[in-house]
Amino acid sequence: MDDIDFATERAETFNATALQMVLRRQSAAVSTGICLSCSEPIETERLEANPHARHCCDCAAEEEAVSRRVKRCGPR
């Protein structure tokens, strides 16, 4: 196999994985409108943009920051 074959295979795998994630997200239950972290209502604008949101904007930003830190530094 050459580099083009490997690139094609990686692209096909990526596309298949992305499609599976989209289909799984569509079949997931719609959000309750209450943040799982702080139990406050999730912003209306956020729910309009993403009906499956599980966290409010502040908690989602915090979760993302923790996730980035773990990827960069490892779990503590």
Q: How far apart are CA 2 and CA 66, in angstroms?
A: 39
Confidence of residue 28 (pLDDT cuts 50, 70, 90): low
Contacts of 32 (CB under 8 A, 6+ apart): none
| pTM for this entry | 0.57
| pLDDT tens per residue across span 29-69 | 778 899 999 999 999 999 999 888 999 999 999 999 999 99
Average pLDDT over residues 8-20: 92
CA-CA distance, 13 to 48, in Å (whole number)? 31
Of 31, 50, 30, nearest to 41 by C-alpha is: 31
Beta bridge partners of 34: 41
Q: What would you measure as the largest C-alpha separation in the chain, in angstroms?
A: 54
pLDDT reported for residue 7 = 87
pLDDT for residue 75 is more than 80: no
